Structure 1
């Protein structure tokens, strides 16, 4: 009866109240579901033993019924031989077998009632277990979504992102400084003289003339 009592306690329990009182609701949900699963296994095992007991009792009842028939035949035989004493003794044995059948039938009826109650409890417990699992999945999905939103908001608005962008500003400042140093190196450099600039033009003109001559020769050979 301990198993069935615990089953009814679980069925009657208000899961919401348990979660409200829990320090860690997610852990409490897992414990509740585990308790339901273990209880369901135990109740089914108890029901299986009850069914096995009933089958054994019915086999014994069948043997007792055969025994009653046998004692009836023996009583009839004794009467046919004018042995009323033996017939009476046979009828007494038959009555014993009959009484045992009645007793076993009554026990089977009690077990039938227990099985019906067990079946009802199992059905209710399965329903509650499905509901608990569904709610667990929904809660865990919402929790995961909430955690993802928190991480995203921390990425977009948190101090880490601001710190990262401040480092970008520092890096850009360093690049500006390096470019400034490069530009500063060309400051104050002596300008080219007129002769240097004309010499560069002459060199470029000479290169152009040599390039034109080379093209003309290649075209002629072609």
Structure 2
């Protein structure tokens, strides 16, 4: 009866409602699956015992039916010998065997009905178990997806990402500075031939003007 009570409770349970109320759905569904598996094992064990009992009762019924035939033959033999008293006793014994056989048939019918109930319960339990395992896989997938999304959000919006981009910007600034310095050095590089010649021409002119100025001042002193 305890097994049947547990089975009925499982059948009556609304798995979605149970999971919605649970604080930890993954843990709850593991407990539900464990309960179903244990109950399924118990139901199958009870069904196996019922099958064994049914087989034993059918063997006993066969023996009782053979005994009834035997007492019928004995009653007929007694009547053939004009021993009605013995025939009557034989019929009494046959009736006892008949009553016992009827009792066994009723018990066998009850066992068969119980087995049909077990078979139906086993099928329903297996269906519920498949549903629970499917829910378990779905919950596991959702949890894995949620963890992946959380990691992605943390990567996109977390401090680690901001620090990384800050380092990128610092490196870019250093690269810009280095490039600017290289460009400046290129501008201040060695003078070209044309530039040196122009400087020499300018220097000659300055020297000529200086010499002319000196000569002019010398003439003024003589005067």
Tell me the distance in 2 between the aligned counterparts of 1:65 and 1:54: 16
**Aligned pairs (5 A) from 1:197-208:** none
**Aligned pairs (5 A) from 1:101-116:** 101-116=101-116
Tell me the distance in 1 between the aligned counterparts of 2:45 and 2:38: 11
How big is each residue's C-alpha offset from its partner over 1:35-82, in whole Å with a ceiling of 9 and x where there is no partner? 112111211221121111111111110011001111111112222222
Question: What is the match of residue 148 of structure 1?
Answer: 148
Question: What is the match of residue 6 of structure 2?
Answer: 6
Question: What is the match of residue 209 of structure 1?
Answer: none
Q: CA deviation at 1:164?
A: 2.2
Instruction: Give aligned pairs, total.
Output: 197
Tell me the distance in 2 between the aligned counterparts of 1:105 and 1:26: 49
Tell me the distance in 1 between the aligned counterparts of 2:101 and 2:129: 41
Question: What is the match of residue 56 of structure 1?
Answer: 56
How big is each residue's C-alpha offset from its partner over 1:128-178, in whole Å with a ceiling of 9 and x where there is no partner? 222222222122212211211111121122111112222344556677889
Question: What is the match of residue 98 of structure 1?
Answer: 98
Tell me the distance in 1 between the aligned counterparts of 2:109 and 2:116: 11
Question: What is the match of residue 198 of structure 2?
Answer: none
Tell me the distance in 2 between the aligned counterparts of 1:40 and 1:96: 41
**Aligned pairs (5 A) from 1:1-150:** 1-150=1-150
Tell me the distance in 1 between the aligned counterparts of 2:147 and 2:107: 58
Tell me the distance in 1 between the aligned counterparts of 2:72 and 2:33: 58
How big is each residue's C-alpha offset from its partner over 1:177-206, in whole Å with a ceiling of 9 and x where there is no partner? 8999999xxxxxxx99xxxxxxxxxxxxxx
TM-score, L = length of structure 1: 0.75
Question: What is the match of residue 218 of structure 2?
Answer: none
Tell me the distance in 2 between the aligned counterparts of 1:156 and 1:179: 31
Tell me the distance in 2 between the aligned counterparts of 1:143 and 1:23: 14
Indicate the structure (1 or 2) with the bigger Cα radius of gyration.
2
Tell me the distance in 2 between the aligned counterparts of 1:111 and 1:163: 74
Q: Any stretches of 5+ residues in structure 1 without a counterpart?
A: 184-190, 193-222
Tell me the distance in 1 between the aligned counterparts of 2:83 and 2:25: 81
> RMSD of the alignment, in Å?
2.8
Q: CA deviation at 1:21?
A: 2.3
TM-score, L = length of structure 2: 0.74
Structure 1 range deviating more: 65-74 or 113-122: 113-122
SS of structure 2 residue aligned to 1:23: coil
Q: Any stretches of 5+ residues in structure 2 without a counterpart?
A: 184-189, 192-223
Structure 1 range deviating more: 133-142 or 89-98: 133-142
Tell me the distance in 1 between the aligned counterparts of 2:115 and 2:142: 40
